[in-house]
Amino acid sequence: MTSRFVIDAVVQQATILVAQLATAKGVRAPLSHVADQVFLELANAIEAQGVSRKVAADMFGLALRSYQLKVQRLEESASARDRSLWEAVYGYIAEQGMVQRAKVLTEFRHDDGASVKSILQDLVDSGLVFQTGSGRGRSYRVASREEVEELALADEQKSLRSVVWVELYRGGPQTVEELAARLSVEVASAKEAVEELRAEGHVTRDGEGRYGCERCYVPRDDMEGWEAAVIDHFQAVVVALTVKLREMAQPTLPAEAVGGSTYSFDVHEEHPYYEEVRSLLSNTRDELSELAAKVKEYNDEHGRNEVDQKVTFYFGQSVVSDT
């Protein structure tokens, strides 16, 4: 079946993206929950397509009873996110202020010693932990616990603000509780983020306590908004492909308004079209920004009562050197 090869390729590429996200900015995000999360969300998505649980269980190679028990167990623990050993070691050093290597190894004596030593080296290499001394007298330190927590919370809240904005734009009006569940964050954090956006005029709140927005814009130089930009772009690609696949199942051919195309160019610095190719990203961004401004101006003047379609256009560019 050709769909199997497509699925394998998509999983492979998605896995590469997850690996990059898990190690971005020197952080080592916990991944112990990923396999269960993928299973649960894939099971829910398959059932949402109208597939019965018996057939879904067979697709996973499980008996119906085993499938049901696994889904139930994962739904009950979906909000739990265990700390990884990397996080635990880093947190312990932060709490101690200054701690000798031997004490760290003793604290984590029930874990694999080689893994703990590797994590210590990784923390030092990433610049999150400083090492002093050598041999048996080797010690580690990080910034004070208060400074670390303050910086972490500040960065997390700035990032969450952008993610919440994108979620409201793509997912439609939601309550704070729905947002928190959707993004797997504390209700208080979601509340703070959405109220900041509301105070700035980016989102509105209706009489039923649901927040929503008509537009979303994350500046490309916003260092705290990169998470939201990744989510937004990836979601746009997935939605476009999903709609395309859905339309392919219809008796008529898909409309040209839905889909995507990919072009690759082999050039060098002396190539006559080098600059034209390299500037595709910036030129397209400028053209779309101008169009978006015109659409916004028209909608503001005439209202949005007659708007019944949301057209999402996504684009991206990568440059890979052979040297």
Measured CA to CA, the distance from residue 193 to residue 47 in angstroms comes to 32
**60-64: which pairs have CB atoms within 8 A and are 24 or more residues apart?**
none
User: Exposure string (b/e) for 23-35, b if CB count within 10 Å is 16 or more?
Assistant: eeeeebeeeebee
pLDDT of residue 157: 62
Please count the other Cβ atoms lying within 10 Å of the Cβ belonging to residue 79: 9
**18-25: which pairs have CB atoms within 8 A and are 24 or more residues apart?**
21/230
H/E element holding 140?
strand 139-141
pLDDT of residue 274: 93
Confirm if 193 and 156 have CB atoms less than 8 A apart.
no
Phi, psi of 140 (to 5 degrees): -130, 150
pLDDT of residue 277: 93
Phi, psi of 175 (to 5 degrees): -80, 170
User: Exposure string (b/e) for 126-141, b if CB count within 10 Å is 16 or more?
Assistant: eebbeeeeeeeeebbe
Closest-CA residue to 167 (of 205, 216, 201) = 216
Amino acid occupying residue 26: G
DSSP class of residue 132 equals: E
**111-119: which pairs have CB atoms within 8 A and are 24 or more residues apart?**
111/85, 115/85, 116/85, 116/89, 119/28, 119/85, 119/86, 119/89, 119/90
Residue carrying the six token digits 């208060």: 146
Closest-CA residue to 265 (of 229, 313, 318) = 318
pLDDT tens for each residue of the chain, 323 residues long? 456 767 777 777 788 777 877 776 666 776 767 788 888 888 988 888 888 898 988 988 989 899 888 888 777 655 444 556 777 888 888 888 888 999 999 988 888 888 888 888 878 876 678 888 877 788 988 755 555 445 455 556 666 777 788 778 777 888 989 888 877 778 888 888 888 888 888 888 888 889 988 776 666 555 555 666 777 778 778 777 777 777 766 655 556 777 778 889 999 999 999 999 999 989 998 998 899 889 888 888 877 666 677 788 888 888 887 76
Confirm if 90 and 116 have CB atoms less than 8 A apart.
no
Confirm if 148 and 142 have CB atoms less than 8 A apart.
yes
Measured CA to CA, the distance from residue 280 to residue 263 in angstroms comes to 11
pLDDT of residue 81: 47
| Cα separations in angstroms, 26 against 23, 70, 114, 221, 225 | 6, 34, 20, 20, 17
Confirm if 232 and 251 have CB atoms less than 8 A apart.
no
